[in-house]
Structure 1
Amino acid sequence: MVRFCVFACFFIATSCAWAQSSSTGSWYIYIGSQHLSKKWNWHNEVQYRNYNAVGDLEQLLLRTGLGYNLTPGNNNLLLGYAYIFSEPYVSGTDLKRSVSEHRIFQQFITRQQFSRFYLQHRYRFEQRFIEDTDFKMRYRYFLSVNLPLTNREMVPKTIYLSAYNEIFINNTSPHYDRNRLYGALGYTINKYLRAEIGFMSQALENRHREQVQVVLFNNVPFLKD
């Protein structure tokens, strides 16, 4: 655990220094999912996104939702809401503008395990109400895999590799919105907490963006096991 913490601090410090002198951004993410009962869960999420390491806000995202498991511990249907505050740069200037977005979304998550590979599929449909912009809808497909390295399963004190790809499709032209490709090193702190440090490349319609990501997952249940 100590060796991993030292590595994590070194990785963050190095990444932040690089981000301050390049176009690489930094995303700090918290994702929680708390069991309310054997079938119901509460999703809660905060993402603080920067154009650099810290201090140059790109976007603040707050997301929540209520989910229901169709089978024990799996096949989760969720209805949610998100608020997104963005500060994009005005093209060709150093000036920023503020944009607020309210988003309603529905999603379905299913998980699978093949030997040591932990897979997750997420299908999400979004209805987007963006300030000073027409109403938009978007479809997203997310595929992730976790591979434990120091144990055969994702038990406490396991170092693991994580990767995902997510594609975004608009309901109107241009239909292609973006694609995200991610790779990371993770650590299962205990039964309910794990953390990841990784790098994500985002391909938009006419440009690319890269982000260092620091993620904390919290699954501490409200209902005791």
Structure 2
Amino acid sequence: PDYYEIKGGVGYNLTKNHKPFIGIGRYGNYKNHIMDKEEFRVWLQDVIDLKSGKFKFENRFRAEKSWFYEPLKDVHSDRIRLRYRLNISVPLNADTVKPGTIFANAYDEVFFVTTEKPSFARNRVFGGFGYQIDENFGIATGYLWQREFAKSGNKNIHFLYLALNITIDGSDDKDYQF
């Protein structure tokens, strides 16, 4: 593999539609099987959901602080990044997402970097489908297109996406993340 990430965090549902979160992660990029760049990241996030009929509109705001280390060059750097994502999802075989539901999902996410130029650094567009297996597990798959903007030139990156979502929620009113 040429990339890995380990991340997690803690969130709290202030209301059914308002969910702040704090996260932490470690990310690694390899070139020729040698660690090229390591990143340690912390972030604050706020999610505000709006529903209209069967559609769920998720507004996610995130502020990140990252510290980087490039071991081959012995270079340290850091970054502050702001992100906004509008995620739209709709259950296809039910009125809400619950165990046994198939859903469609699409989002657009923009990235702004305060410590580099250009400030508008990235745009991501995703489209896909998912299935909520039971109260704890769901799967999702789709296609992700990412456009990166840089001084050295712009770059398009294409991803096939596959995820296993684990919901740990002891409340009776579950809100599945998709």
TM-score (norm 1): 0.67
The match for 1:186 is 130
Tell me if the contact between 1:65 and 1:81 (Cα under 8 Å) persists in the aligned partners.
yes
1-side partners of 2:171 and 2:127: how far apart? 33
Within 5 Å, which residues of 2 pair with 1:44-55? none
2-side partners of 1:133 and 1:219: how far apart? 36
Q: Deviations over 1:102-148 (max 9, x none)?
A: 11111111112110101211111011101124221000001111111
One-letter amino acid of the counterpart of residue 158, structure 2: E
Within 5 Å, which residues of 2 pair with 1:17-56? none
One-letter amino acid of the counterpart of residue 107, structure 1: Q
Please point out which of 155, 177, 201 is paired with 2:121: 177
Stretches of structure 1 that go unaligned for 5 or more consecutive residues are 1-56
Change in CA separation of 1:68 and 1:99 when aligned onto 2, cut-off 3 Å: same
Q: Deviations over 1:14-73 (max 9, x none)?
A: xxxxxxxxxxxxxxxxxxxxxxxxxxxxxxxxxxxxxxxxxxx232111122223322x3
The match for 2:2 is 58
Matched, 1:136 2:74: no
Matched, 1:218 2:166: yes
The match for 1:119 is 57
Quick check: which one's strand share is greater? 2
2-side partners of 1:169 and 1:148: how far apart? 31
Matched, 1:68 2:12: yes
Tell me if the contact between 2:28 and 2:35 (Cα under 8 Å) persists in the aligned partners.
no
Tell me if the contact between 2:83 and 2:109 (Cα under 8 Å) persists in the aligned partners.
yes
Other structure's SS at 2:67 match: strand
Matched, 1:99 2:42: no
1-side partners of 2:66 and 2:4: how far apart? 16
One-letter amino acid of the counterpart of residue 142, structure 2: G
Change in CA separation of 1:107 and 1:199 when aligned onto 2, cut-off 3 Å: same
Change in CA separation of 1:67 and 1:220 when aligned onto 2, cut-off 3 Å: closer
**Which shows bigger deviation, 95-104 or 167-176?**
95-104
Tell me if the contact between 2:2 and 2:33 (Cα under 8 Å) persists in the aligned partners.
no
Q: Deviations over 1:70-102 (max 9, x none)?
A: 22x331222221111112x4xxxx686521111
Change in CA separation of 1:105 and 1:195 when aligned onto 2, cut-off 3 Å: same
TM-score (norm 2): 0.83
Q: Identity, % of aligned pairs?
A: 26
Quick check: which one's helix share is greater? 1
